[in-house]
A = this chain, B = another copy of it.
Amino acid sequence: MLQTVSKVTQVLDLFSLENPEWSVGEAARTLGYPKSSVSELMASLANRRLLCRIGKGRYRLGWRIFELSQTLLQTAEFRVEARRVMEDMVGQWREIMHLAVLDGVQAVYVEKLQPTPAVKILVSWAGARLPAHCSGVGKVLLAYSPWENISANLRHMGMPKLTPHTITDLDELERELERIRERGYGYDIEEVSIGLRCVAAPIRDCEGNVIAAISFSVPAFRFKEREEEFTEGILKAAQRISAALPKHARSLPRELTTLHR
């Protein structure tokens, strides 16, 4: 593990929705490095446009980040088709939909579509992260990943309890994932947020590997009324997406080793 790479990511990770701007001093204090080092580091990153300098010693994320992410998205073939179908669906069903991929034990939300008059938001923007063990898409993604890896990672990272319904026991999770594999889809019964239920289904590439998952997120009362319809709907959508994938479509397989440090 190269130390500088580690420091680069530590700096990049500082920037968030709450703190989109950082000065050299703040960053140095937060990270616990001497400010001279941080100054050089940030200046270098800005020179390469990974950061953007706004006034003396103040920085934001730079546009090169955005470009890189677009390259990433454009080369994730499954996303294009998924989006087309999901747009259809949202227009018709008027419910929020998400598309997510698995990265470690975190579900990365790649798309978030909602009917035009915004209702309520679960994950407020595509690109957010949620522990995979509690959400619908997350559990579906976990269900089709090697259990040894998952369990090792979860043991290491812990399983935060977001609501009373969140699964926090490894054995129980294993059984839940087994159920998901049997049925071919998964529920989230207010495990992320009270009053919000969800049904999720896997998207498969041409070889049958699960590469992503989509979901409906619906207020609990409405979900109960029309559970079967939502389930059928999401399954059909996932199948349409899977079937429409180009022959050579490949997932962007996730690294399964554990993180250093």
* A152 smallest CB distance to B (angstroms): 16
| B67→A72 contact, CB < 8 A | no
Q: Does A170 sit at the interface, judged by CB under 8 A?
A: no
Chain B residues whose CB sits within 8 angstroms of the CB of A104 once the complex forms: 49
| B20→A71 contact, CB < 8 A | yes
How many residues on chain A are close to B (CB under 8 Å)? 60
Name the interface residues of A93-130: CB closer than 8 Å to any CB of B: 101, 103-104, 108, 110, 125-129
Q: Does A157 sit at the interface, judged by CB under 8 A?
A: no
| B8→A53 contact, CB < 8 A | no
Q: Does A213 sit at the interface, judged by CB under 8 A?
A: no
Binds B, one of A57-65, A174-182, A191-199, A215-223: A57-65
Name the interface residues of A237-255: CB closer than 8 Å to any CB of B: 250, 252-255
| Copies of this chain, whole number | 2
Q: Does A75 sit at the interface, judged by CB under 8 A?
A: yes
Chain B residues whose CB sits within 8 angstroms of the CB of A67 once the complex forms: 108, 127-129
* A133 smallest CB distance to B (angstroms): 18
| B5→A48 contact, CB < 8 A | yes
Q: Does A90 sit at the interface, judged by CB under 8 A?
A: no
Q: A17-B71, A52-B253, A66-B110 are in contact. Are A2 and B4 (CB under 8 A)?
A: yes
Chain B residues whose CB sits within 8 angstroms of the CB of A71 once the complex forms: 15-17, 20, 61, 127
* A253 smallest CB distance to B (angstroms): 5
Q: Does A209 sit at the interface, judged by CB under 8 A?
A: no
Q: A2-B41, A47-B260, A259-B47 are in contact. Are A69 and B127 (CB under 8 A)?
A: yes
Q: Does A74 sit at the interface, judged by CB under 8 A?
A: yes
CA distance A255 to B48 in the complex (A): 10
Chain B residues whose CB sits within 8 angstroms of the CB of A54 once the complex forms: 250, 252-253
Q: Smallest CB-CB separation from A75: which chain B residue?
A: B20
What 18 new A-B contacts, CB under 8 Å, besides A1-B43, A53-B253, A63-B72?
A2-B4, A2-B40, A4-B4, A5-B41, A5-B44, A5-B47, A9-B50, A15-B75, A17-B71, A54-B252, A54-B253, A62-B72, A63-B108, A65-B68, A67-B108, A67-B128, A69-B70, A71-B127
Interface residues of A (CB under 8 A from B): 1-2, 4-6, 8-9, 12, 15-17, 20, 40-41, 43-50, 52-55, 60-75, 101, 103-104, 108, 110, 125-129, 250, 252-255, 257, 259-260
